[in-house]
Amino acid sequence: MERININSSKRNELIDITAKISRLVEKSGIQNGLCFLYVPHTTAGITINESADPAVKNDLIKKLSELVPENNKYSHTEGNADSHIKSSLIGCSVIVPIENNSLALGTWQGIFFCEFDGPRARSVLFKAIEC
Amino acid sequence: MERININSSKRNELIDITAKISRLVEKSGIQNGLCFLYVPHTTAGITINESADPAVKNDLIKKLSELVPENNKYSHTEGNADSHIKSSLIGCSVIVPIENNSLALGTWQGIFFCEFDGPRARSVLFKAIEC
Amino acid sequence: MERININSSKRNELIDITAKISRLVEKSGIQNGLCFLYVPHTTAGITINESADPAVKNDLIKKLSELVPENNKYSHTEGNADSHIKSSLIGCSVIVPIENNSLALGTWQGIFFCEFDGPRARSVLFKAIEC
């Protein structure tokens, strides 16, 4: 298992980690298989979406904050109940197929670490199998 | 890896692909294992839900469009910011266990390709492992 | 494949199943690998979130019921259209890495079965691989 370190700089932020994951896939030597990414945090997530236009990630952040506002009479008193809820809506793991020693992402797809309670030092766990 | 081709006919549409996936599982010869499905698109998703009553998929489409309306002062200017957001809420991959060379779906479960920016020609990637 | 049995006691309820999954990982003897959990139901889900403060799961339940109210002019007439929608928003599977024969969960993470149409007798399917 490999661990990718990420430093977020805002409370809500989508960070493109595609290049980091691609390098780990290359290094693994796996020609055809599956890549598994796991976020060991409860106020963050991981998603795959368009990486070409940064407006897409900003729209996602804005909509999530509309649906799950920072202040909303929550029971959890640490001021980040919204961050926990966003984490469960987005999810903390993704799988991506590997083809010819590369991520089989679609043309417009990138992999984003989703920070919902930054800035913080974070990590993503990486596993890959040949299959 | 196998590639399933799908043609959607509406902007928002849930398409039951259970039969197609079942045939690939049978063809794989795998008795017990896991099936991985991956959508290489940024304005689509994949989910597992009730396939018996078509009202369920219509309710899901309607609720998603209420939560994430098509027009909502988005930054992304291609007219499909909502489609990208829905994609991240639903997710672009699922796993399903395989038992006795069949998908171990629950009684009411079906696998649905989720079109959020159709009509388009789409695909789903299929991988399965014995384990 | 192992099957974990769960009995929910409320309509909406998050049930911490971390200890049950941990025991299955230990029993599997797998040192390093991946654990796959699958919910074979269409009105339930599975998520990973904070297990220390029970307020977090209550906030998640409350917010989901705000976004997807029980009564909302749905087409599905069985009175649980909201439960189906919540199931697709949360998802019915998760993966967790295994390290040193233990779940590689983050410090605050627990695994929760999400009941959205209880009380019911439910199950979660467990698979694990060495890799």
Contact residues on chain B for C127, CB-CB shorter than 8 A: 34, 97, 131
Confidence (pLDDT) at C49: 98
Residue contact C96–A38, C-beta within 8 A: yes
- Answer yes or no: are the C-beta atoms of B51 and B15 closer than 8 Å: no
Q: CA angle B131-C4-C6, nearest 5°?
A: 155
The neighbours of chain A, by the rule of 3 or more Cβ pairs under 8 Å, are B, C
Question: How would residue C23 be classed by pLDDT, with cut points 50, 70 and 90?
Answer: very high
pLDDT-derived band at C125 (thresholds 50, 70, 90) equals very high
Do C60 and A127 count as a contact with CB atoms less than 8 A apart? no
- What confidence category does residue C122 fall into, taking pLDDT thresholds of 50, 70 and 90? very high
| B103/chain C closest Cα distance in angstroms | 11
- What would the pLDDT profile of C36-83 be if each residue is shown by its tens digit? 999 999 999 999 999 999 999 999 999 999 999 999 899 998 999 999
Low-confidence stretches of chain A (pLDDT < 50) are: none
In total, how many domains does chain B have?
1
C45 in helix, strand or coil? strand
CB contact under 8 A, C78 and B53: yes
Picking from C1, C40, C76, the nearest residue to B56 by CB comes out as: C76
Pick the residue of A65, A127, A131 with the most C CBs within 10 A to test the interface with C by mutation.
Answer: A127
Q: Could you report the predicted ipTM of this complex, rounded to two decimals? A: 0.97
Query: How much is the pLDDT for C64?
Result: 98
Say if A125 is an interface residue toward chain B (CB within 8 Å): no
pLDDT, mean over chain B: 97
Which chain A residue is nearest to residue C56, measuring alpha carbons?
A: A76
- The vertex-C22 CA angle with C28 and C56, nearest 5°, equals 155
Pairing of strands A102-103, A93-99: antiparallel
pLDDT band at C86 (very low <50, low <70, confident <90, very high): very high
Q: Which residues of chain A have a CB within 8 Å of the CB of C53?
A: 76, 78
For C91-115, how does the pLDDT look when each residue is reduced to its tens digit (9 = 90+)?
A: 999 999 999 999 999 999 999 999 9
Residue A84 domain boundaries:
2-130
| Closest-approach residue (CA) in chain A for B89 | A90
Contact with chain A for residue C47, Cβ under 8 A: yes
> Is residue C121 within 8 angstroms of chain B, CB to CB?
no
Work out the burial of residue B78: count CB atoms within 10 Å of its CB; fewer than 13 is exposed, 13-18 middle, 19 or more buried: middle
The C-alpha of C53 sits at a distance from chain B's nearest C-alpha, in angstroms, of 25
Residues of chain B with pLDDT under 70: none
The pLDDT value recorded for residue C123 is 98
Cβ–Cβ gap A1/C97 under 8 Å: yes
Could you tell me if B89 lies within 8 Å of chain A, comparing CB atoms? yes
Cβ atoms of B25 and B101 within 8 Å: the answer is yes
Smallest Cα distance from B41 to chain A, Å: 6
Eight-state DSSP code of residue C94: E
Pairing state of beta strands B2-7 and B102-103? unpaired
Q: Is B76 close to A55, i.e. CB distance below 8 A?
A: yes
CATH of the domain at C119: 2.60.120.460
| pLDDT mean over C7-19 | 98
Give the side-chain half-sphere CA count within 13 A for A42: 22
Neighbors of chain C by Cβ distance (3+ pairs < 8 Å) = A, B
HSE-up of residue C34 (Cα within 13 Å, Cβ side):
23
pLDDT digit string (tens) for B27-38? Answer: 999 999 999 999
Give dist(CA B130, CA C39) in Å, integer: 20
- Contact of C90 with chain B, judged by CB distance below 8 Å, is answered with no
Report yes or no: C1 at the B interface, CB cutoff 8 Å.
yes
Considering only CB atoms, A38 lies closest to which of C55, C90, C95, namely C95
